[in-house]
Structure formats: structure tokens, C-alpha cells
Amino acid sequence: MSDAALGRTPNVTGTKTFSINYGLFAFAIVALTILYICARLYQQAFGFSMGLDASSPEFDEYWMTLFKIELPVLYGAGALCWTYLFLTRDKNIEAITPEVELRSYFYLTMWLVVYSFCIFWTGSFFADGDGVWHQTTLRDTPFTPSHIILFYATIPIYLFFGVGSFVYAMTRIPAFCRGISLMHVFAVVGPFLILPNLGFNEWGHAYWLTEEIFSHPLHWGFVVLGWCALALAGVLMQIVGRFRELVPIVFKQDAASA
Amino acid sequence: MAIPKRKVNPKGETVISVSGLTPKAARYSRIFDFLVVAAVVPLFAGAFHLHVMLTVGDWDMYVDWKDRQYWPLVAPISMIMFPAALQAIFWVNFRLPIGATVGATVLLITTWLGRYANWWIWTGFPFTEGVPSQVIAGALLMDMALIVLRNSLFTSIFAGFAFGFVFWPSNYSALAPFYLPVEHQGMVASLADMIGYTFPRSNMPEYLRIIERGTLRTFGSSVSWVSAAFAGFICIFMHQLWWQLGRFASQTTFLKNGDVVKSFMGMKSRRAS
Amino acid sequence: MRTRTVQFYDVHFSKTDVKVNERFELTGKFRLMEDWPDAVTPPDIVFVSSVSPGPTIARVETYLNGEPARQSFAKLELGRDYDFRMVLEGRTPGSSHIHPSISIKGSGPLVGPGQWINISGDAHSFAFPIKTMTGLQIDDLQTFGLTNAIGWHVAWLAVAAAWLLFWLVRPLFLPRWLVLQKGREDLLVSLRDTGAGIIVAAIVLGMVFGGYVRANQEYPYNVPLQSGLNKVAPRPASPADAEVKVISATYEVPGRSMRLATRITNKGSEPLSIGELTTANIRFLNQGLPAAVANVDPTYPRDLVARTGLELSSDTPINPGETRELRVEATDAVWELERLVSFLTDVDSKFGGLLLLYTPSGKRVIAEMGGPIVPVFTELK
């Protein structure tokens, strides 16, 4: 990971020219797109052929193996990234220059763009697939071919970027370290809670509901937590608010040096 | 990246000139615009589509759930929520009368994407079985009402109602052919019933449909318009409620962080607290 | 649970190899068990269906006891039998595992024995023509009406895109917010913009109501979605020629063997021989009885017929009026494979099944049986 994209400060204090590095951002979008498409292709290849009978050995081989691999890998990757962000934090965050701070705001925005991108694949694309899968086939396990991707792959991926954006902001941007952005907490913790809410979902399916009405109140926990996406508006306003102070300083310097 | 220089008044003032941004600052601000749009589109495609699927998904998903009693009622009530909140976010903070349209547009696009990639490619359902509803007509009316009325309360009253009310007619134009009658096994069925029956969903028995049942109806054939009017009524309140939620979500509150955490994160100075 | 709800029997697939667009029939009967478990909603609202991996088959017609079964049925009776017939059609080439199923509101689908149906041909050649009551001949139910629906959606997207672009080409978030902070709203939304809004609103209203009027003119004879519950009478009850009482039942876990001590009374006029024990689609046959073996349809899935068959402590027929105590043993790994040993973990450890008995003249007597079952975790001596 490049220092610039992670907002590390050390050698740039004297620079008067403002610039942004898009490399890591573009890489994340491309890599995620490939990852999601591969996940969908895997469902296409092995959903109906190996994933209909949870008691069969093929199911174990193709689906439970994937489940056992993806969970530690994806959560492990998240934990590594968050730890890295923390360890490489600016140890004197108050002292960063306006250029660095402005750049960090841009990078925070990019984190949030990638987070939003992940929300799309999870909340729309794979959730839609989950809906149609469960109305098509009979549910005989909580670990169905659509759940193994939706709940146990795409959710850890968006957590990677949601929590990542939070750790990034807290370790790189003074305002987000000085105070805790309420709306940022909502935007990250709401979707995060979808994961524990799965417990309620599966409990309900086990005891009450074997039929798939997608709009059943049992699923509304996910809905309320999904509403938290709106809270990113607050983060946007926090960013814009700080831009008002930073932009004149950064670009005045730039104009003076020109 | 070129910034359109729109002269919006006789004095030659533009948004950029009044905002005080230097040309380079304006360029970066435009980059920021792109980033925000790049976040808004997938974020609300995901969150709004999930919301719709899990609140009124079955009606929206299947052509044989699109009845006259429940579909025109529950679908707009659920589908006004995100557009109303987005309207507040875009209008209150930026005076952009596009929030509702943004919500409705990303929803329709992402819904069709799912129909293609999941319904057709994966499970093989014909597109006729999954024709979704659209709320772009109602959303456009909401944005238009806002730009004219410039007031959330009147927008709720007039455009919230309109959103719910036009749901039925604006969707009926697209779906009318699916209500043609056919005779099947000596009984009448609509084509929509037949589509649902012919291409079976193993886990969707016929009785699971929450649709108009029985024959006795006070208003006879105008069932759908009664539903439309009722939907409009509820949408008035939904709009205002979600407008307020959009405003709530735009707040810039920072909670006080603990000194220990702050110093842990790299904040040395005491002054900061 | 599955051993105590719906017992399918006489299930027959008219073909197992079909071409795309070729029809085949799935027929059979089922008994709704008298000793219905508490955890399963009673069959008050029932739908006759099939289970397939997606719509790989098309459903043409379905019947329950000869009544049309496109809609659901109200109040089927426990302890009674029903027969079903489904006319299906190959749609997606490949091998599809198809089951009959009985869906019960509140409990979901209870699935009958599945068979592999090989569908050959070209997927694109599938079409489902249908004629409407208005005389319109529709070539394919998969595509009819789609051009209109997608056309409307594209039209709405076009209007929305025009409106969005009208705004998105302008400087957006930071500058607009700064200008708003300076109280210059006049710069952000001009009178011209308001005028544009009024024009768009007029276009929208024109599209909404114009489209609605046009649709009504074009389709004046439309009907709402059809729904409602149908009634159907059960098959005539067969005379209770045999009464089966389970005295004790054990399931030996390591040996995968169900052992029953039964008391059977022949109440009919002919001697009775035990031919088969069937439960949850699994069949244990008395292989020494030709009538029982002949009762297995050639299309019945082989993996659901236990290889070892049924072992009886006495093979001689039970005479009319006689009551005999018999030990019945059904041993096969299929208990585990089909996950029927849920009574090991259920809060209500009971089982059920049908005992099929035959007279020398070939008459079949179906007797329901069941009761508590005790798992044995060590090998019985």
C-alpha cells in the first residue's frame, strides 16, 4: 500500500502543490469488482449442481469448504488492514499541514466510495440473488449457496471498508480524532449489526417460518440497519464543512507559489 | 475537468465566483463532486433496493403479486421513504431538487440488473415473471413540487400524496397486458397468474401471495383507485417523516472523544479537548 | 417429522427423458397422517406443487382428486388419501431432480420422492404459447408484454436522466453549500429552473394519465389476479381391513435399524401378508412377497427403496379375524442419508408410516401406524 493513499504524512510538509493519488482507490474498485463477479460465477457454477442438498458430500466439498476458507481470510484481511492503519497512524495528528489534512479528507471520501460500492453488491446484487434463490429452492440449512456468499463473504468485505474508513478517519484526521462523528458511527455500525441480526433471522426461520415471504417482518431488522446508510450524509456535511476552512488555505498557498 | 460557467444573473455571478473557489480549488471540488456521486449511486442502489426487497419485495418481484388492493398501497408507502430522505439531504444542504429522482432511478436500474444477472442468468425465470414496479413518475413529481413550492411541508401534502396516487396508473401502463384473461382448466386466470403458475417457484406456493381475495368489494371495479388514494394519504406522512430523517442524517455532530483514546490515536495536545 | 405428515405412494413419472417443450405427467397419491405432529400446521390451506431446481420445467396443468389445482385448497382431511396429477413440460436442458410436493400454509412444502428427468434439446427453442379469452394468440408467455413494460421503464429512465443531467452538469456539493451559507439561494435555483420543473411535471402527468387511458383503451377486458380457495373431497376411505398397533419401537443408532413390535388384526375377509413399510418416501419391501415387489413403479427412485428390505418375525399370512404379534425390522443406511432420524434430536420422539398389506387376490390394504420411538445408542443383543 502506498503511503500517500493511506494518508501518511512524514515528507510532504514542505510541498506547496496539492495532488491526490488515485492508485489504491482504483485498485480497490477493480479488485472488488473482479472478486464479486468471481463469487457470482462460483454460485452460477456450483449453486444448482452442488448446492441443493446440504447433507450431500458435494455440498460439503464445494460450499462448506468455501465457507471455512472465506471467513478467516476476509475477517483476517480486515483485521490486518485496521491494525496496519492504526500502527501507521500519525503520532502527532494535531500538527499536520492543511494540504495533508485536505488530502486525508479526499482519501476518507474514497474509503467511503469503496464502502458504498460494497454496500451495492451486498444490499442489492447478492441480496436480490438470495431472494430469488430461496424462493426457487428449499431451505435445508442456514448455510445455503446464497448465504455463504451474501452473509459470510460480502458482509465481511463491506466491514473491511466501513470499519477501515472509521479507523482511517480517526488516525489521520484531527476532527475525527478529537470527536467521534455520530453519523459515521451510524453508517458503519448499522450495517455491521446486520451480522449479529443474522442470529435473529436464522432463529426465526428455524422456529417460525419455513416459507419464504421476502417482505416478512422477520427480515425488517436488516431494513432498519440498512437505513443507516443515510447517515453518510452527515459525514459528507462534516467533510464539506471542513473543506470550507481548508480549501482557501491550501489553494491560496498554491496560488502564491505559482 | 471543465466547470460549466453558467451566468445565472445579470451581474455575471456564477455559483463558483460567489463560492469564492479559485480555479484550482474549483477543479478539486469537481473531483469531489464525482466522488460523492460515485458514492451516492451504489450506496443507495444497495440500501434502497435492500429496503424495498425486505419490506415489499414480493409485490415488486413477482408479476402475480401485483394485485389491485395491496400492491398499489404497500409499494409506494415503502418506496417513498428513501426518496423523501434523499430529497431532504440534497435540498436542505445543497438546494438540489433531484434527491427523489436519484433514489427512484438507481432503484429501477439496480432492480433490472438483478432481474438479469440473478433471475434470468442464475435461476432462469423469464423476465415477464419479474417485471418490477417503478416510482420514477412519483419521484419526479416530488422533485418538481419541491422546486416550485420550496417547502417540505407542502411538498409532503401535495407531492407525497401524488407519489402514492400516481403509483397505480403509472405502473398500470407498463403492466396492463399481463392482466389479459385466459381460460385455464375451466377457470379464469390473468396472464400474470399464468406466468407465476407456469414457471414454478418451488418455495412459493400460490397461497403465499398476499393479494386481493374474494369477490365482495364496496367500490366494485374501482378497487385500485381506492388503494391509490389510500396510498397517497399515507405517503403524505411518510414523506414528512423521512424528510425529517434525512435532515437528522445530515447533522454534523461530533461526540466528545475520551482523552485516552485520543492520545492513543495520536492526539498529543491537551488543547484539543 | 416427515414420517408423520404426508406419506406419498404410487408416485409415477410418465417419462424420465423428455425434449424441450415435450410434456410428461407426474401422478401419485398421498395420505395425510392421522397422528399429525403439533409442530406442523394442519393442512387447512394446501397447494399442490412440484419442486425443481428453478423453472427447469413448465407447469401446464395440475389436479387434486380431479379438481383443477392452479389455486390452493381449503381444509384437507387428516387420515384421508388424495391423488394428484401434474402435466409438466421440459424447459431447460439438463438433468433436473423433480419432486411432487404438498405445501401447507404455515409449514411449507412437504416433498415427495424425486426423480431425475433428463431434458434434451435447445433451451432457446422453448416457448409457451397461450390464447387469451379476448382471442389474442400469444406466442410465448416468457416474452409477451415485455416490450411494452421495458419501453415504459426506459421512457421513465430517460425523463429522469434528463432531469438529473440538467443539474449534475453544474458545480455541485462544495460550491453550492458555500453559496447557500452566503444566503444566495437565488443563484442556486433560478426562475428558469423552476420553469423547467413545471414543464417536466406536465410531461410526467401527461405520461402517467395518457399512458393509463391508452392502456385501458387497448386492454378493456382485463381481469384482476385470480385467487381464492377451492374445496376438494378426499378419496373414498378404504375399509379398515387391517389394524396395526405399535407396541414398542426402537431405533438402533449404530446399526441404523428400526425395530417394531406390532400387533396386527385382520378385520377383512381374506388373509393378509405384510408387503411394505413406507415412510417419508422410503420403502422397505418384503422381498418374499411378489405382489409387494410388483408394486414398485419402474420409475420410482431406486435410492429410496431400501436394499435390505423388511424383515418379519413371521411370514405366514394373517388370517381373517386373527390378531398376531409381529416383529418388524427395517434396516438401512437410508435412514441417515435421508435425515429421517430427527427423532434423535426432536423434542417429540415419535415416528409414523404406512404399512401396505396384500391379500392373495392382490388387493392392497393400507394401514397407518406410528407411535413413540426409543433410540438405542449401543448395539442391541
R_g (Cα) of chain B, nearest Å: 24
Residue C189 has pLDDT above 50, yes or no: yes
Contact B65, B58 (CB under 8 A): yes
Q: What residue numbers bound the domain in which A141 lies?
A: 20-257
A254 contacts B251? CB cut-off 8 A: no
- Residue C135 has what pLDDT? 94
Residue A183 has pLDDT above 90, yes or no: yes
Cα separation, B135 vs B74, in Å, equals 13
Q: Residue A209 domain-assigned?
A: yes
Residue A196 has pLDDT above 90, yes or no: no
DSSP per-residue string spanning B15-56: HHHHHT--HHHHHHHHHHHHHHHHHHHHHHHHHHHHHHHHHH
Cα separation, B162 vs B229, in Å, equals 9
> Is residue C34 packed enough to be buried (19+ CB in 10 Å), middle (13-18) or exposed (0-12)?
middle
Q: Which residue of A has its CA nearest to B130?
A: A132
User: Is 1.20.1450.10 the CATH number for B26-206+219-272?
Assistant: yes
- Residue B273 has what pLDDT? 41
- Which chains are adjacent to chain A, needing at least 3 Cβ pairs under 8 Å? B, C
C115 - beta bridge partners? C98
Residue C245 has pLDDT above 60, yes or no: yes
Q: Residue A6 domain-assigned?
A: no
Q: Which residues of C touch B33 (CB under 8 A)?
A: 171-174
Cα separation, A195 vs A218, in Å, equals 15
Contact A150, A130 (CB under 8 A): yes
Mean pLDDT of A32-55: 93
Domain chopping of chain C, boundaries:
2-128, 146-218, 242-376
Mean pLDDT of B15-30: 93
Q: Residue A129 domain-assigned?
A: yes
Considering only residues 282 to 341 of chain C, which have any Cβ-Cβ distance to chain B shorter than 8 Å? none
Q: Which residue of B has its CA nearest to A119?
A: B46
User: With an 8 Å Cβ cutoff, is A186 touching chain B?
Assistant: yes
Tens digits of residue pLDDT in A62-108: 999 999 999 999 999 999 999 999 999 988 888 899 999 999 999 99
Cα separation, B81 vs B85, in Å, equals 6
Contact A164, A81 (CB under 8 A): yes
ipTM of the complex: 0.94
Residues contacting C68, CB < 8 A, separation 6+? B184, B185, B186, B187, C61, C62, C230
User: With an 8 Å Cβ cutoff, is C154 touching chain B?
Assistant: no
Cα separation, C151 vs B138, in Å, equals 18
Residue B113 has pLDDT above 60, yes or no: yes
| Closest CA–CA distance from residue C339 to any residue of chain A (Å) | 8
Tens digits of residue pLDDT in C94-134: 999 999 999 999 888 889 999 999 999 999 999 999 999 99
Q: Which of the pair, A116 or C268, is modelled with greater confidence?
A: A116
User: With an 8 Å Cβ cutoff, is B18 touching chain A?
Assistant: no
User: With an 8 Å Cβ cutoff, is C163 touching chain B?
Assistant: yes
How many domains, in total, are found in chain A? 1
Residues contacting C341, CB < 8 A, separation 6+? C251, C253, C335, C375
Which of A114, A124, A183, A184 has the most B C-beta neighbours within 10 Å, making it the best mutation to test the interface with B? A124
Any idea which of B16-20, B162-166, C195-199 has the lowest mean pLDDT?
B16-20
Q: Which of the pair, A84 or B7, is modelled with greater confidence?
A: A84
Which of A43, A82, A106, A135 has the most B C-beta neighbours within 10 Å, making it the best mutation to test the interface with B? A135
Residue A15 has pLDDT above 50, yes or no: no
Question: C146-168 vs B99-114: helix axis angle to the nearest 10?
Answer: 140
- Residue A64 has what pLDDT? 95
Cα separation, B6 vs A153, in Å, equals 47
- Residue B212 has what pLDDT? 87
Cα separation, A213 vs A216, in Å, equals 5
Cα separation, A229 vs A187, in Å, equals 5
- Residue A150 has what pLDDT? 93
Mean pLDDT of B206-229: 79
User: With an 8 Å Cβ cutoff, is C53 touching chain A?
Assistant: yes
DSSP B252: -
End-to-end Cα, chain A, rounded Å: 31
Any idea which of A117-131, C197-211, C223-237 has the lowest mean pLDDT?
C223-237
Residue position matching grid coordinates 435425515: C339
Mean pLDDT of C161-190: 95
CATH of the domain at A170: 1.20.1050.50
Cα separation, B52 vs B58, in Å, equals 9
Q: Which residues of B touch C45 (CB under 8 A)?
A: 207
Residue C51 has pLDDT above 50, yes or no: yes
Cα separation, C375 vs C255, in Å, equals 11
R_g (Cα) of chain C, nearest Å: 31
B79 - beta bridge partners? none
Mean pLDDT of B126-141: 97
What does pLDDT average to over chain C? 91
Cα separation, A144 vs B13, in Å, equals 60
Cα separation, C110 vs C36, in Å, equals 13
- Residue C253 has what pLDDT? 83
Q: Which of the pair, C86 or A194, is modelled with greater confidence?
A: C86
Cα dihedral angle (B189, B195, B200, B203), rounded to 10 degrees? Answer: -80
Cα separation, C55 vs C62, in Å, equals 16
Cα separation, C145 vs C132, in Å, equals 13
- CATH of range C2-128; options 3.40.50.970, 2.60.120.570, 3.40.50.80, 3.30.1600.10: 2.60.120.570
Tens digits of residue pLDDT in B63-76: 999 999 999 999 99
CATH code for the part of the protein at C146-218? 1.10.287.710
A138 contacts C107? CB cut-off 8 A: no
Residue B214 has pLDDT above 70, yes or no: no
Residues contacting C236, CB < 8 A, separation 6+? none
CATH fold for domain C242-376: Immunoglobulin-like (2.60.40)
- Which chains are adjacent to chain C, needing at least 3 Cβ pairs under 8 Å? A, B
Q: Residue A206 domain-assigned?
A: yes
| Closest CA–CA distance from residue B147 to any residue of chain A (Å) | 21
Contact A234, A183 (CB under 8 A): yes
Q: Which residue of C has its CA nearest to B67?
A: C225
What is the share, in percent, of chain B residues with pLDDT greater than 90? 81
